[in-house]
Structure 1
Amino acid sequence: MSMFFTIAVIVLVFLIIFQIAKASEYVSVIKGEEKARADQNKVNGFLMIAFLIAGLFGVYFCNKVLYPDTLLSHEAASVQGEKVDSMLWITIVITGVVFFITQILLFYFSYKYQESKKRKAYYYPHNNKLEVIWTAVPAIALTALIVFGLKNWFAFTGPAPKEALQVEITGKQFGWIFRYPGMDQTFGKKYYKLIDDANSNSLGQDWKDSKNFDDVVVSQTMYCVVNRPVNLRIFSRDVIHDVGLSEFRLKQDAVPGTPTSLWFTPKFTTKEMKEKLGKPDFQYEISCDQMCGNGHYSMKGVIEVVTQEEYDVWLAQQKPNYYTVFPDKDPSNQKPQLATDSTKTTASVKTTDVVKTKM
């Protein structure tokens, strides 16, 4: 019923517009074409000024109301994000100034130079100086912005500092998998044909490589340390995903078969950001910024930024994925059988010695 009502309203609106247009034509016939066109131009001229004022007020009002809900209302949560914010503000200022100048002139000129019997339009088809100016100036400005952006981009995606925390992040439909190297600080080999979710091998780790034995694999929540660089090695198991780190102002594609990388330095712990923003439920989010399928909207991960001490405690509580796949290899699951047998043997020997002594 609601669909029928909506269609009826749309049809009615079109009919009203059509009738107004026809009435306008009849008025033009009665008044005369020249007189009608002059009146319409005068009305349109005043409407241009009205639209200009309404548009500028709309820009101000939207900024006033919505700006607190944008990311720019608070500083970036990473050192590298500060540079991104700087680039963004420079771009906004340059394009904003150009926008306001051009739009104000556009609407004002439409009003000021409307049709009039007192003046005649001047045909001005070409001017080399103007062509050079409005081509060269934007080209130089855009080139400067691109060079500035590429410089930062190469820094974010280049080699991370030696002390950086190494984390491997793999996207799949529809979630994130994280891997941390163990005590050897080296990731073990993996092969996509070895992926076996049923047997807890979601990354295809090669168990012939002993470097895999201490690697920790977790899902959906990534832990990293405040004021310590974290180097992300990014992979995808299926389609193209995108690691979106909005609070850190960074993102990087996760491409099947083509590893990518990104590094950043968190400035605030999750607890500090909750207090800073006044949001007790705040979480650093990893979003997928690339349409990847029907469940794209639900592909969310969480970053927990903690102190080095808290991270060490968390990591110590994690079990290497090798022990999950092969629980019989887990030292914590080993029965102290040998120790018991040894105790019994020792006790037996002592008993025998006692008997021999009595004899």
Structure 2
Amino acid sequence: MTTTTYLIIAAAVLVFIVIFQISKASEYVSVLKGEETSRKQNNRINGFMLLGFMIVGFIAVYYCNKLLYKTTLFPQGSASVEGEDFDEMFMITTAVTGLVFVLTQFLLFFFAWKYQEKEGRKAFYFPHNNKLELIWTVVPAIFLTVLVVFGLRSWFRITSDAPKGALEVEIVGKQFGWMMRYPGKDKIFGKTYFRVISDENSNPFGQIFQDDETLKLKADPTNFDDVVTTQTMYIVKGRPVKLIIGSRDVIHDVGLNHFRLKMDAVPGIPTTLWFTPKYTTKEMKERTGNPNFVYEIACDQMCGNGHYSMKGIIEVVTQEEFDVWMAKQKPNYYTAFPDKEPGVVKPAAADSTAAATAAEKTTVAINK
């Protein structure tokens, strides 16, 4: 621990000892002066202690904010254009509620000190006041309505239709990891069906690759060029990206803290959101001064024993870098059916060729 930490602990212990000694002294005084006098003295002590607690509390709040603010994500700013609205809304909410907090806490402790019991002072019975009731009902209602309107405006923006030309990525969660699917050159996602999902057969999304008379399915050719990746999502700086979100088991939540966005991943009910990245991963490493910085995909919904480990990564790159990366990816169809990949010799064909060659050599040897 640092020297500052030791000093804070020592100060806290000292304050506790002082309070303890004051309370003990108060007990001794009560014995000497009588119960009524002791009660009044304790009342005065409590009033001053509450006033002191308020002052120390405000100082502690300010100190903690100054000390810990730099450890939050706010100094970096939102990594998405749309996330700026949520940062603004958060700051407005914090300003309004912070002002109310300071005012109410000040009045609470100040009144406890100012209106403590005194000789000749009688308590004022104040049962009801329509004007005050109206003020403290209507004013908060107006502020809360404004905040809700701000929130709905931003929410409708990111859940509305994405701009034309947006990159589309399907992201699906399962205990405990993330999977992503990109449309191929046709820019169309192939159809999927949950009953053909099979990790063993390299079909984690349940893409309909072939006919199935039992399930009455017909192969969807638009699946043949779709690309599937796990844990790492590639998106483009300055290009809107639309996420089509789903889950294979329980409710998860795609948490994009750096982009100030999140959305539930619900089994059987696809959800969507879109945003525009502002900085590449490389640029964020420079902005944060952290060479190990990564954009994180967190699961923001408790989803089981391995919830803590459900983490994905987003790589924000330029359009040129994305095109190069995409060109290197193999469609999932060829992963599921390696014998279908162009340029790959089918095992069966290779075996028959080898057998024919061996038979030919045997025939030549016999003739000789």
Q: How does 1:219-238 map to 2 (within 5 A)?
A: 219-238=230-249
Gaps of 5+ in 1: 1-19, 338-359
Structure 2 residue 242 is the aligned partner of structure 1 residue 240: no
One-letter amino acid of the structure 1 residue matched with residue 109 of structure 2: F
- What TM-score, normalized to structure 2? 0.83
Q: How does 1:267-306 map to 2 (within 5 A)?
A: 267-306=278-317
- What TM-score, normalized to structure 1? 0.85
Equivalent position to 1:333, from 333, 341, 344: 344
Question: After superposition, what is the alpha-carbon deviation per residue over 1:134-176, rounded to whole angstroms, capped at 9, x for unaligned?
Answer: 0000001001100110011011011101110000000000000
Report the equivalent of 1:205.
Answer: 207
Shifted more, 317-326 versus 98-107: the winner is 98-107
Give the secondary structure class of the aligned counterpart of 1:331. coil
Root-mean-square deviation (Å):
2.1
The answer (yes or no) to whether the contact 2:208–2:220 under 8 Å persists in 1 is yes
Report the equivalent of 1:261.
Answer: 272
Give the secondary structure class of the aligned counterpart of 2:253. strand
Identity percentage of aligned residues: 65
| 2-structure distance, mates of 1:271, 1:286 | 17
The answer (yes or no) to whether the contact 2:251–2:265 under 8 Å persists in 1 is yes
| 2-structure distance, mates of 1:22, 1:113 | 25
Equivalent position to 2:170, from 165, 168, 171: 168
One-letter amino acid of the structure 1 residue matched with residue 34 of structure 2: G
One-letter amino acid of the structure 2 residue matched with residue 35 of structure 1: T
Deviation, 1:50, is 1.1
Report the equivalent of 1:59.
Answer: 61
One-letter amino acid of the structure 2 residue matched with residue 135 of structure 1: T
Give the secondary structure class of the aligned counterpart of 2:179. strand
Cα gap change, 1:28/1:191 in structure 2, threshold over 3 Å: closer, same or farther?
A: farther
The answer (yes or no) to whether the contact 2:257–2:296 under 8 Å persists in 1 is yes
One-letter amino acid of the structure 2 residue matched with residue 212 of structure 1: N
Deviation, 1:37, is 1.6
Equivalent position to 1:39, from 25, 38, 41: 41
| 2-structure distance, mates of 1:327, 1:202 | 16
The answer (yes or no) to whether the contact 2:26–2:42 under 8 Å persists in 1 is no
One-letter amino acid of the structure 1 residue matched with residue 300 of structure 2: D
One-letter amino acid of the structure 1 residue matched with residue 198 of structure 2: D
| 1-structure distance, mates of 2:333, 2:223 | 7
Q: How does 1:1-359 map to 2 (within 5 A)?
A: 28=30, 31-207=33-209, 208-334=219-345
Give the secondary structure class of the aligned counterpart of 1:244. strand
Give the secondary structure class of the aligned counterpart of 2:203. coil
| 2-structure distance, mates of 1:45, 1:73 | 40
| 2-structure distance, mates of 1:332, 1:125 | 88
One-letter amino acid of the structure 1 residue matched with residue 325 of structure 2: W
Deviation, 1:209, is 1.1
Give the secondary structure class of the aligned counterpart of 2:200. helix
Shifted more, 199-208 versus 326-335: the winner is 326-335
| 2-structure distance, mates of 1:23, 1:42 | 14
